[in-house]
Amino acid sequence: MELVHEKTGQNVWVSTITYRPLGNSGLMVSTIGLGCNNFGRPNTQTATQDGTSAVINTAIDAGINLFDTADVYGGSVKGLSETLMGVALKDRRDEVVIATKFGGDMAGANGPDWDARASRRYIRRAVESSLTRLRTDWIDLYQLHRPDGITPMEETLAALGELIDEGKIRYIGHSNLSGWQIADAEYRAKEAGLPKFISAQNEYSLLARGIEAEVLPAINEYGLGLLPFFPLFNGLFTGKYTRGGGPADGRLTSRPEELDSVPWDAMEKFQSFCDERGVTMLDATIAWFLAQPGVSSIIAGATKPEQVLQNAAAGTAWQPTADDLAQISELFPA
């Protein structure tokens, strides 16, 4: 919320953001986080250091503390997102929770990996590369980007446990695991006395509700914190697209085939629902997310500082009733 400072007369941003523990842990994260896969992305303001720093500084000033990236993010230059973040966060490291990931294909940047990117051998190399790019001594949340189908989970957990003991990482999470894989990881950690994952990152939005069948029940059973990815469905749920298209610089405008496949009847009903309640589609979407059990932080991406401010404000803009939530869910059946 922007207010006028009573002494200086300048506009100041007053944070209304809220914080939640990430799953069953003491790691407090802002309910609106920042997805960082735009940093280094060509044809966006965040392609550059200045553009990235502006988005990051705006986010921190608005009270956002969770920054989610991955070693592979950065447009066509793998690692560039972490590199840009390292520069931007150099003097603000203590104010933020850095979440990054390993296990995506770095195209040889971490040496040959023979696709076993959850192995101890690979993890030791990957973490050093991320720490160097991020210009930090520690990563707050180190996430397995996806299982490699080769490495036993015990080996991955043991290697991550060594990094925790060495102070290089603080907490561990996973991403793109199925329901049974989440349960299996829990079982193996318990059996072998290894560290447990505290978070899960899976695709989840009003148009992608597949995780509600198996993944979400597992997440809630084991007390994991959910970090839904693509929460705005690439910006669709900001309300800036219509059947006729969207702004020239919007991500989906350059992907007409994806816009064509949007269920526009449901989107238009959702817009009317929001208009009747005097809220934006962004506010209603974020409110729906924050009411879902297990959700810790909505890691929406942003290419401009003003988007960050809108997303941060949406975290507390509207308190839906149970009936409102049910109506939204009915518009977009799982």
Ligand X SMILES: NC(=O)c1ccc[n+]([C@@H]2O[C@H](COP(=O)([O-])OP(=O)(O)OC[C@H]3O[C@@H](n4cnc5c(N)ncnc54)[C@H](OP(=O)(O)O)[C@@H]3O)[C@@H](O)[C@H]2O)c1
- Binding-residue total with ligand X (CB under 6 A): 29
Q: CA-to-CA distance for 221 and 224, rounded, in angstroms?
A: 8
- Asked if residue 302 binds ligand X (CB under 6 A), the reply is yes
List active site positions.
73
Q: Is 209 in the site for ligand X (CB under 6 A)?
A: no
Note whether 234 binds ligand X by CB under 6 A. yes
Interface stretch with ligand X, choices 161-169, 190-198, 210-218, 305-313 (CB under 6 A): 305-313
| Nearest-approach distance from CB 211 to ligand X, in angstroms | 12
What letters, b where the CB count within 10 A reaches 16 and e where it falls short, cover 9-22?
eeeeeebebeeeeb
CB nearer to ligand X: give 74 or 320: 74
Q: Which of 294, 301, 315, 320 binds ligand X (CB under 6 A)?
A: 301
Residue 297 contacts ligand X per CB under 6 A: no
Nearer to ligand X, 238 or 316 (CB): 238
Strands (E), 111-236: 139-144, 169-175, 199-201, 225-226
The answer to whether 250 contacts ligand X (rule: CB under 6 A) is yes
Is there binding between residue 52 and ligand X (CB under 6 A)? no
Choose, by CB under 6 A, the member of 204, 233, 270, 332 that binds ligand X. 233
What single-letter amino acid sits at 29? V
- Residue 232 found at the interface with ligand X (CB under 6 A): yes
**Residue with CB nearest ligand X?**
301
Q: Is 126 in the site for ligand X (CB under 6 A)?
A: no
Distance between terminal CA atoms of the chain? 34
Rg of the Cα trace of the chain? Answer: 20
- The yes or no reply on residue 136 touching ligand X (CB under 6 A) is no
Cα separation, 308 vs 331, in Å, equals 27
Q: Candidates 53, 156, 201, 297: give the one binding ligand X (CB under 6 A).
A: 201
Cα 256 to Cα 250: distance, rounded to the nearest angstrom: 11
- CA 111, CA 126: separation in Å to the nearest integer? 9
Stretch that binds ligand X, among 84-92, 157-165, 230-238, 258-266 (CB under 6 A): 230-238
- Of the candidate spans 21-29, 87-95, 123-131, 303-311, the one that interacts with ligand X by CB under 6 A turns out to be 303-311
Query: Which two three-digit tokens encode residue 247?
Result: 């702004």
Contact flag: residue 168 with ligand X (CB under 6 A): no
Is residue 215 packed enough to be buried (19+ CB in 10 Å), middle (13-18) or exposed (0-12)? Answer: buried
Q: Minimal distance in Å, beta carbon 10 to ligand X?
A: 24
Instruction: Please state, in angstroms and rounded to a whole number, the distance separating the CA atoms of residues 224 and 238.
Output: 27
CA–CA separation, 253 and 246 (whole Å): 6
**Which of 269, 304 has the CB closer to ligand X?**
304
Q: Which of 25, 30, 83, 176 binds ligand X (CB under 6 A)?
A: 176
The string of DSSP letters for 265-301 reads HHHHHHHHHHHHHT--HHHHHHHHHHTSTTB--B--B
Q: Would you tell me how many other CB atoms lie within 10 Å of the CB of residue 252?
A: 18
| Per CB under 6 A, 156 contacts ligand X | no
Residues 58-87 that bind ligand X (CB under 6 A): 68
CA distance readout (Å), 218 to 65, 103, 117, 186, 231? 26, 22, 24, 10, 20
What is the contact surface with ligand X in residues (CB under 6 A)?
35-38, 44, 68, 175-176, 201, 229-235, 238, 240, 250-251, 282, 299-303, 307, 310-311
